[in-house]
Amino acid sequence: METNYQVFVLSNTHWDREWYMSHERYLVRLTSLCDRLLALMEKEPGYIFLFDGQCAALTDYLDVRPEQTGRVRRLVREGRLLVGPWFTQPLETIASGEALIRNLSLGRRIAKDLGGVMPVSYMIDEFGHAAQTPQLLNGFGIRDAIAWRGIPKHTRNVFNWYAPDGSAVFMFYSNAGYGEATNLPQSVEDFTETIDGAEIQRRGLKSRIEALRRLREPNAAKPIVMWLNGIDHSFAQPDLLQVLEKARELDPSLCIHQATPMEFTQAMRDAFAKDGETPADSVTGELMYAKEDILESTHSNHVRQKMRHYQVEHLLSDYAEPADVLGCLTGGEDMGYSLRRAWRYVLENHAHDSLGCTSVDEVYEQVMARYTCAHDVADQAAEANLRHFMRAGGKDSALYVYNFSSYPQCGVRKMCFILPEGMDPGASMRLISPDGTEVRHTVLSTKPVRDVRYNPAFGHPTHTAARQIEALVLLPEVPPIGWLKLKLEKGEPDIKKRNRVPFCLERSPLTLENEYLTVCAAPDGTLDVTDRQTGRTYPGQLLFEDEGEAGDSYVHIPPRSNRKIYSSGCPHTVAILWDNPMGSCMEIRHEMEIPADLKADGSARTEECVRMNVVTRVTLLAQDPVLHFSVSVDNRARQHRLRVLFPTGLNTAEESFGLQPFDLTRRKIHEESDDEVREQPYATHPMQGLCGTYDGENGAAVCAPGLYEYECTDDDSRSLAVTLLRANNIFGYSSSFARSPLYSLEASQVPGRVDFSLDLLFFRGNPEEQFPRLAPLLRPLRVLPARAPEDSVMPDYSEPEAKIPGIGSILHVDSPRLVLTACKRSDLHPGALTVRVYNCSPEAQSGKLHFTFPGLVLQKACATEADEEKTKKLDVRDGVVSLRLRGYEIRTLLLYTGKEPEHEQQTN
């Protein structure tokens, strides 16, 4: 006897905002879809529709049909039109942790405004899932998720998915994809459909039901399944309710009806509760299994866009938001609107086809334009905030150094800044620290430029002479989430040193050396690096590897005959650019002759070659254990992948690690292949600017902001191979897009010059212990001259009442394992600061958060979730909040500040 299955039919569309067409072209289709949907749902009072787990598609519709807002709100309030919780369906392994929270926050706000937030995360087409996603979802009250891709083989249709901290969601697994029940036909038997004169064979309802049962039921943990009635850009099926009635007649063993995701997930929960069970399957950590098309190579596609994404996303969270707090705390203008606008541009680009860069050139251009808009509004607002803040520190000529990382920073730093003529002390410039001591520096280069200053009183900008200066500066300690003021003074000119490039002639011409490292240029153009603390030498660093690309934007596939070219076999030159007691820099120029393209059949690379020039500047600063690289690649070839390899020699290492949202995710280096899987386990893995490996005693890490793919090779070299670029001209699963005149894919070949920044660190101890060294590489210091606020020329301008010292900070946490990831004004609680802290270690950690901004006191602190809706008051003692976080926990706090009482100021 057949089991009687409950079938929950989820009617939906999967709406890619842009993909093989531009957003504007899709918008025309979307508007037609929504117009028809509203009419259908008002005609059929029982009709239910799921809008893809996101809000962006509906906001796009209401932008062009604002008069329909009332109709949409009514259907959302009735619980029949399901929206949110996301703003767009992102790629969790590329968007930063803070950006994922912003995505959910914006989606939640929009959905609430429309009438209600769907409390189930619908993540049906994301290319794998990040380890901490369950914790992020829990932070928005979400306990259930529906997803495809990346799920382990043989997993049932529901399982417990645990984040590293122990947070969990019920994951409802859509095995074999989505859209399987799209457009269920009225015809019982198979039939023929004619479109543009072409006859297309279609299966009838009877055979469709049989196929759906074969697909879903063998994977069911309980006699409860979902059918997804909708796929990419499909319209709502107007006769679905009638077709389901016919389906019940055809197969009485099915209890089948249209439903909401919440009805489906609750039915499954109730079934387990009734039997006193929980799902037998459970998975902890990231879901990046290759069984069902995780499309991991999207992480290396379109590197220009990836780097721009990283730059702008981190500009917002790591710079513009803390700058906004500094402006706020000194009484500056409220510029929250600018950050919200900038985030909106970035979050529109989170849509998985946009962020994965798996689209045509028109989409690439639109995405890059949004990043430019986000960058410009955020950068302009940050400068305005910081000009106001610096004015509170006085009117003298000065440079301000900002450290918005969790850890204090000091030592030699390379800085570039522009000094207008009126602020520039000239060639004999002196830098004076707040304690009155002179800060050593060495000017590497200067060049005259023109300064452009906007004048709000006259409108037109004022143009004056200025100097762009590149210098090495030996900084005293700059506190975390803080600043350091360096006064600019004119010193006595030293005629002996003028115009002389300082060299340290004691060293070998092809060697860089400091207290930590000795770096020697090898005859083959690589570097031999010796860690002077351990005596261990790591030969062959900085090896470039180029190979063919026969895949597409989703999947890297080497050609059958894959000729690899290595920089070690290519002509090269080495020169020392500068060498002085504060640091040294070596330039290596490789001339790599590589195949120009693939052969027409894709089987091998062409015999014809082109020259790819690779210029690397290797910098080693005094008292710095990190080796810094700037790499410039002039790409003239097509259909190839270029990587840079750093052999670690840690041949007993069994795991690598890559930075992911709020997680340093560990992966096995050796993975067995699986004949049952179309997409084999990947050797490459996602990262967000940081990867490495560790053998239990020694480790190596590469920091590469803006790069998202690495491999730790499964050989004795255990090389960290970071993908620099992957050039291809096919997206999707077919070359027809590349051959069609309707679609342009030239930008994905990455032509021309591309610049990269990488850092290399060898270490002892656990990777998590390296966060004080590694985190500042991802949040580098920023330096700004203390320019007057633009509106200071206006007659009604008021000087800031607040006065700030030359060195200070907003706050800090005194535990090295507790990392500050956000310091911003709260969007929901006026007058409050939102601060987020992450425990980067597996063990519980205690620490104290100190509020240290001068002239203000911490009046109140509250614990809250990521959604910031419910709050719990915390004890505050002398500006300190005690914290204890379980391993890998993310904690969100609200801080309320006020002026220090006058009697306390007098006492102090």
pLDDT of residue 195: 86
pLDDT over threshold 80, residue 675 = no
pLDDT of residue 483: 98
pLDDT of residue 733: 57
In this prediction, residue 718 has a pLDDT band, given cuts at 50, 70 and 90, of very high
**Beta-carbon contacts of residue 605 (< 8 Å; ≥ 6 apart):** 548, 559, 561, 562, 563, 595, 597, 598, 599, 639, 640
CA distances from 2 to 220, 256, 291, 477 (A): 14, 15, 29, 73
pLDDT of residue 681: 79
In this prediction, residue 176 has a pLDDT band, given cuts at 50, 70 and 90, of confident
> pLDDT > 70: what percent of the chain?
96
In this prediction, residue 743 has a pLDDT band, given cuts at 50, 70 and 90, of confident
Other C-beta atoms closer than 10 Å to the C-beta of 213 total 18
Name the CA radius of gyration of the chain, rounded. Answer: 29
pLDDT of residue 503: 43
Name the burial class of residue 249, with classes exposed (0-12), middle (13-18) and buried (19+) by CB atoms within 10 angstroms of its CB.
exposed
CA distances from 901 to 33, 642, 855, 876, 895 (A): 60, 60, 9, 16, 18
The three-state secondary structure class of 128 is coil
pLDDT of residue 905: 44
pLDDT of residue 507: 55
Picking from 188-202, 311-325, 657-671, which range would have the lowest pLDDT averaged per residue?
188-202
> If you write DSSP's letter for every residue of 533-581 in order, what string do you get?
TTTEEEEEESEEEEEE--S-SS-----SB---EEGGGS-EEEEEEEEET
504-507-510 Cα angle (round to 5): 110
pLDDT by residue (tens digit) across 97-144? 999 999 999 999 999 999 999 999 999 999 999 999 999 999 999 999
pLDDT of residue 505: 39
CA separation for the pair 625, 632 (Å, rounded): 23
In a 13 Å sphere around the CA of 667, the CA atoms on its Cβ side amount to 29
pLDDT by residue (tens digit) across 643-653? 999 999 999 99
Bridge partner residues of 172 (DSSP): 146, 158
Picking from 291-295, 402-406, 755-759, 853-857, which range would have the lowest pLDDT averaged per residue?
291-295
pLDDT over threshold 60, residue 579 = yes
pLDDT over threshold 60, residue 495 = no
3-state helix, strand, coil in the chain (%, to 5): 25, 35, 40
DSSP β-ladder status, 482-490 and 511-513: unpaired
Contact 343, 336 (CB under 8 A): no
Contact 431, 399 (CB under 8 A): yes
pLDDT over threshold 70, residue 895 = yes
CA separation for the pair 677, 290 (Å, rounded): 7
Contact 236, 36 (CB under 8 A): yes
The three-state secondary structure class of 677 is coil
In this prediction, residue 193 has a pLDDT band, given cuts at 50, 70 and 90, of confident
Give me the phi and psi of 126, to 5 degrees please.
Answer: -80, 145
pLDDT by residue (tens digit) across 496-509? 544 344 444 345 67
In this prediction, residue 738 has a pLDDT band, given cuts at 50, 70 and 90, of low
Name the burial class of residue 273, with classes exposed (0-12), middle (13-18) and buried (19+) by CB atoms within 10 angstroms of its CB.
exposed
Average pLDDT, the chain: 93
Mean pLDDT of 203-210: 95
Mean pLDDT of 415-434: 94
In this prediction, residue 28 has a pLDDT band, given cuts at 50, 70 and 90, of very high
CA of residue 809 relative to chain centroid, distance: 26
Number of helical (H) and strand (E) elements in the chain, helices listed first? 16, 48
pLDDT of residue 506: 47
Picking from 193-202, 376-385, 535-544, which range would have the lowest pLDDT averaged per residue?
193-202
pLDDT over threshold 70, residue 493 = no
The b/e string for 398-418 (b: 16+ C-beta within 10 A; e otherwise) is bbbbbbbbbbbbeebbbbebb
pTM given for the model: 0.96
710-619-580 Cα angle (round to 5): 170
Mean pLDDT of 215-232: 96
pLDDT by residue (tens digit) across 307-350? 999 999 999 999 999 999 999 999 999 999 999 999 999 999 99
Residue (of 360, 472, 479, 474) closest to 409 by Cα position: 479
CA separation for the pair 894, 319 (Å, rounded): 19
Total residue length of the chain: 908
Q: Where are the alpha helices (DSSP H) in 169-228?
A: 205-216
DSSP β-ladder status, 690-694 and 698-703: antiparallel
CA-CA-CA-CA torsion sign (469, 471, 475, 481): positive
Mean pLDDT of 441-460: 93
Which tokens sit at 361? 């050139």
pLDDT of residue 672: 79
pLDDT over threshold 60, residue 454 = yes
pLDDT of residue 508: 66
